[in-house]
């Protein structure tokens, strides 16, 4: 999941406090040497003087983005440089890069793992915790690559321009304000980017918000793929909660979600019909945002990281679960290698009245992968569906839903579209052959793909159409064989009869 928020503070104080080391604290609680770091309270890196008197030394995040590297910002975040770029200035020289002042100093892109992944990170064995963290980090990197390439633009005359990378800092966290497991990362993107004319300008925030759903779905898909690849765990779709790990008991996940419970309780009292007993997502976005802010208490950090593990283990025992999750052996097969066409069509239908953009198709495709997939595969597959043009940000081309949703008769014959680009290309080629045949012979039958119902009808076809019919049938059979499928009996009687007559 991805949430985008504007920030106006130019100091970056909130992100540079010791609370940015929560993820490392949770890792120490797990006792994982691969993830370990100094305990809370030990000196960290950052800019001195940013914390309150008596506070622990601040810890920084890590720089992210090719534009940040171009400014010499690599490795761990320095507080002074962070403040400079949030103010629109060069991090070392201090001179102004962005000519115009703006009240928005940057954008906070918060990537949050599904609750079951956070529980796996908190209570899993060291290997599982490491796999969860690595998958999360890889998913954040992939989603930010998409944001930099497709979502971020600057306003140039006469049109918007893609940016030459982003200036961003990433801060990883492992717990929520309620001290529940909550694996998430804040990526703070400075409101500063260079367009194709070489000038530094403010980012057009409309693009970040417009692409938030697609980038969030891409993060989720890459995360699912990473965990499935590393641990072989199975994913299930839970109503209103998206994809979750089947290996994590939903009662345990709920017991470790006191922050969400606080928000739902607030909604129940302030927004009738949107509390725990109502349908998920029934409250308006504004109501949920208000509830989130109203229940947002100051964070508290245990004196020692081990307290986190003891706290979570006690809660697990209270609900009848083991305080330790063991997932050392693969528990499930890999993904089925095809998208969920019903889920894809449902996601597309949500924007059907406004038309389908590339970002909408990215979100729909990524969300339709049961075991996720690499970001590059998702984008390549979506680019094969239609001609999207070259627009970025909010300037993407808008197409009709029919351009990306296959006709039912094609799905009945070929099955759902493969999730791998090469296999999808084979599938698309067969679908195009079917479409051309139906156009040539004016076939409109919704059930018989090639328009032949009986052997008698097939024998009565003119010689040219019969030859075309048999050639198209061979193309279909070859395509199905190449993607590892066999046509089911009686799926298309006309094609079956054609094959029998060869």
| Mean pLDDT over the full length of the chain | 81
Residues 32-40 have a mean pLDDT of 35
Residues 170-193 have a mean pLDDT of 91
**Of 317-331, 349-363, 375-389, which gets the smallest average pLDDT?**
317-331
Any residues with CB less than 8 A from the CB of 272 and at least 6 apart, and which? none
Quick: pLDDT tens for 407-434: 999 998 999 999 999 999 999 999 999 9
How many other C-beta atoms are found inside a 10 Å radius of the C-beta of residue 14? 15
pLDDT at 376 over 50: yes
* CA 396 and chain centroid, separation: 19
pLDDT in the model for residue 145: 96
Q: Which residue has the tokens 């007559």?
A: 501
Residue 495 near residue 473, CB atoms below 8 Å? yes
Quick: pLDDT tens for 457-492: 888 999 999 999 999 999 999 999 999 987 654 344
Q: How far apart are CA 492 and CA 46, in angstroms?
A: 66
Tokens of 482: 């190449």
Residue 375 near residue 221, CB atoms below 8 Å? yes
pLDDT at 312 over 50: yes
Quick: pLDDT tens for 113-131: 999 999 999 998 888 999 9
Percent of the chain predicted with pLDDT > 90 = 53
Q: How far apart are CA 409 and CA 448, in angstroms?
A: 7
Quick: pLDDT tens for 14-35: 888 745 455 554 454 444 433 3
Residues 347-351 have a mean pLDDT of 92
Residue 240 near residue 279, CB atoms below 8 Å? yes
Residues 3-11 have a mean pLDDT of 93
Helices (H), 196-321: 205-210, 212-231, 250-255, 258-270, 285-294, 306-318
* Rg of the chain in Å (alpha carbons): 26
């Amino acid at each position: 999941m991805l949430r985008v928020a504007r920030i106006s503070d130019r100091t970056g104080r909130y992100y540079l406090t010791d609370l940015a080391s929560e993820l490392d604290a949770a890792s120490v609680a797990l006792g994982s040497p691969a993830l370990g770091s100094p305990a809370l309270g030990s000196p960290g890196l950052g800019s001195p003087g940013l914390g309150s008197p008596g506070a622990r030394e601040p810890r920084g995040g890590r720089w992210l983005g090719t534009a940040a590297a171009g400014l010499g910002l690599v490795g761990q975040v320095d507080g002074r440089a962070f403040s400079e770029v949030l103010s629109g200035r060069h991090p070392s020289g201090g001179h102004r890069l962005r000519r115009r002042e703006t009240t928005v100093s940057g954008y906070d892109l918060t990537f949050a793992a599904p609750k079951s992944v956070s529980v796996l990170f908190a209570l899993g064995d060291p290997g599982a915790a490491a796999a969860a963290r690595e998958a999360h980090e890889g998913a954040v990197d992939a989603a930010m690559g998409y944001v930099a390439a497709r979502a971020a633009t600057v306003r140039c005359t006469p049109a918007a321009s893609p940016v030459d990378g982003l200036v961003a800092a990433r801060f990883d966290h492992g717990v929520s304000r309620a001290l529940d497991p909550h694996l998430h990362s804040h990526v703070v993107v400075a409101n500063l980017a260079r367009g194709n004319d070489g000038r530094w300008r403010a980012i057009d925030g409309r693009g970040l918000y417009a692409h938030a759903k697609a980038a969030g779905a891409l993060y989720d898909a890459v995360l699912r793929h990473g965990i499935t690849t590393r641990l072989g765990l199975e994913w299930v779709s839970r109503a209103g909660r998206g994809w979750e790990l089947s290996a994590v008991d939903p009662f345990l996940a709920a017991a470790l979600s006191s922050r969400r419970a606080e928000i739902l309780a607030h909604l129940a009292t302030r927004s009738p019909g949107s509390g725990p007993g109502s349908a998920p997502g029934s409250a308006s976005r504004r109501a949920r945002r208000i509830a989130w802010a109203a229940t947002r208490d100051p964070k508290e950090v245990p004196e020692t990281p081990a307290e986190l593990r003891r706290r979570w283990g006690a809660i697990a025992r209270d609900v009848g679960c083991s305080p330790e999750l063991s997932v050392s052996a693969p528990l499930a097969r890999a993904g089925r290698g095809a998208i969920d066409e019903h889920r894809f069509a449902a996601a597309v239908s949500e924007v059907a009245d406004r038309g389908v953009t590339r970002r909408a198709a990215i979100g729909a495709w990524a969300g339709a992968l049961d075991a996720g997939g690499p970001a590059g595969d998702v984008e390549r597959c979506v680019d094969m569906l239609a001609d999207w043009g070259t627009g970025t940000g909010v300037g993407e081309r808008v197409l009709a839903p029919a351009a990306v949703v296959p006709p039912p008769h094609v799905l009945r014959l070929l099955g759902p579209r493969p999730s791998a680009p090469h296999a999808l290309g084979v599938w698309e080629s067969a679908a195009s052959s079917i479409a051309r045949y139906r156009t040539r012979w004016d076939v409109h039958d919704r059930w018989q793909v090639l328009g032949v119902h009986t052997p008698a009808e097939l024998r009565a076809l003119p010689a040219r159409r019969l030859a075309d019919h048999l050639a198209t049938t061979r193309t279909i059979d070859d395509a199905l064989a190449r993607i590892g499928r066999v046509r089911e009996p009686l799926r298309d009687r006309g094609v079956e009869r054609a094959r029998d007559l060869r």
